């Protein structure tokens, strides 16, 4: 198979592993810098150019599009979809997953467990919004944040009010969320491929910290997840229309709640912790699914 990996650099761990796994399984794999692709949009013969050359239609494309280049990256991916290439994850599904509010709205519509979440625009509504999510302590999140940056735990109502006001003063988009205290600073990353959780790890925050992101000094270990957690993760990926996803769950008193569904989940942590060849499994998924006419849009809106 001819496979293109859309990524900024070959040196990124996940990109390097996917390249290695694809070559090892006998495929023709190339890494293409997403931001160096350019396109013409015409009715009959859309083209993709890369560094001066026309890109020949690959059988499959693996998008590894960073949050900061979502807009251009999904346009490039869409162009590959238009020429009939099978995307590991579709452009629409990636766009959906990058909008945290849209994602939570879609997941809630399908009845998935979520932390109670609120959002508002006007400072006049802060008071009632805090009531709506059950009062302090609560978590305030910047919608544009990643890697735990812009996620704040407000222990008291007063603290919550001032943080929300401060963010609003900076014109930042935020959401306010019930604090799942019983999770004890841990979350579970479920790596979903197709309709299976192929690996899972528990990330634990450093003492005194509630954010378990590895970038914030969290540690990770293998975990056995429950059947309910397994089905929650698989359903969450399905609702988003993602073939491959990193679904982050918290263990709450009322069962697993979905915190986030990541459309470009990193391989480094999960492969190191579980010892599994996740990159090989992703290529395996393409081998079974990249047949033509399987590129129709999935997911719910
Ligand atoms: P990011 O996308 O920036 O990583 P997250 O929403 O995943 O932000 O939050 C970062 C970390 O903070 C999570 O991994 C989790 O450990 C913790 N966390 C986030 N939301 C909650 C919550 N509602 N209750 C308890 N802990 C939370």
Instruction: Provide the sign of the torsion angle of the four alpha carbons 208, 210, 216, 217, taken in this order.
Output: positive
Give the separation between CA 264 and CA 267, rounded to whole angstroms.
Answer: 9
Q: How far is the CA of 191 from the centre of ligand 1 (A)?
A: 17
Q: How far is the CA of 213 from the centre of ligand 1 (A)?
A: 8
DSSP assignment letter at 295: -
Residue 301 pLDDT? 47
Q: How high is the mean pLDDT of the chain?
A: 93
Parts of the chain with a pLDDT under 50 = 300-301
Residue 12 pLDDT? 96
The CATH superfamily of 117-179 is ATP-grasp fold, A domain (3.30.1490.20)
What pTM was computed for the model? 0.94
Testing ligand 1's pocket by substitution, the residue of 68, 100, 173, 187 carrying the most ligand atoms inside 8 A of its CB is 187
Q: If you take atom 11 of ligand 1, which residue's CA is the nearest one? A: 211
Report CA Rg, the chain.
20
Q: Residue 192's closest CA among 242, 257, 259, 126?
A: 242
Same fold, 96-112+182-263 and 117-179: no
Residue 293 pLDDT? 54
* pLDDT tens digit sequence for 143-186: 887 777 889 999 999 999 999 999 999 998 999 999 999 999 99
Q: How far is the CA of 189 from the centre of ligand 1 (A)?
A: 12
Candidates 3.10.270.10, 3.30.420.40, 3.40.50.300, 3.40.50.20; CATH matching 2-89: 3.40.50.20
Under a CB-based contact definition with an 8 Å cutoff, are residues 70 and 98 in contact? yes
Under a CB-based contact definition with an 8 Å cutoff, are residues 85 and 60 in contact? yes
Q: If you take atom 21 of ligand 1, which residue's CA is the nearest one? A: 179
Q: How far is the CA of 184 from the centre of ligand 1 (A)?
A: 12
Which CATH number is 96-112+182-263 given? 3.30.470.20
Residue 259 Cα: closest atom of ligand 1: 6
Residue 299 pLDDT? 54
**Residue spans per domain, the chain:** 2-89, 96-112+182-263, 117-179
**CB-based pocket (< 6 A), ligand 1:** 115, 139, 141, 145-148, 151, 177-180, 183, 187, 205, 210-213, 248, 250, 259-260
């Amino acid at each position: 198979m001819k496979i293109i990996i859309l990524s900024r650099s070959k040196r990124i761990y996940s990109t390097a592993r996917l390249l290695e796994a694809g070559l090892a399984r006998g495929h023709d794999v190339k890494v293409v810098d997403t931001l160096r692709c350019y396109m013409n949009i015409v009715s009959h013969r859309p083209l993709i150019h890369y560094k001066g050359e026309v890109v020949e239609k690959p059988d499959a494309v693996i998008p590894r599009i960073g949050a900061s280049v979502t807009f251009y990256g999904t346009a490039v991916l869409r162009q590959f979809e238009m020429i009939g290439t099978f995307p590991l994850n579709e452009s629409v599904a990636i766009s959906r997953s990058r909008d945290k509010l849209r994602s939570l709205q879609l997941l809630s519509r399908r009845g998935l467990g979520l932390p109670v979440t609120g959002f508002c625009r006007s400072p006049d509504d802060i008071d009632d919004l805090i009531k709506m999510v059950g009062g302090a302590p609560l978590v305030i999140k910047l919608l544009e944040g990643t890697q735990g940056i812009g996620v704040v735990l407000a222990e008291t109502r007063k603290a919550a009010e001032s943080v929300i006001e401060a963010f609003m003063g900076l014109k930042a988009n935020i959401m306010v969320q019930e604090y799942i205290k019983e999770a004890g600073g841990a979350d579970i990353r479920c790596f979903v491929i197709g309709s299976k959780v192929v690996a899972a790890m528990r990330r634990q925050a450093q003492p005194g910290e509630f954010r378990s992101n590895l970038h914030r000094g969290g540690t990770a270990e293998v975990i056995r997840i429950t059947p309910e957690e397994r089905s929650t993760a698989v359903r969450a990926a399905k609702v988003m229309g993602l073939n491959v996803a990193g679904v982050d769950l918290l263990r709450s008193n009322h069962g697993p709640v979905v915190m986030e569904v990541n459309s470009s989940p990193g391989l480094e942590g999960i492969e190191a912790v579980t010892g599994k060849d996740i990159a090989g499994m992703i290529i395996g998924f393409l081998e079974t699914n990249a047949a033509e006419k399987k590129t129709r849009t999935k997911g719910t809106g």
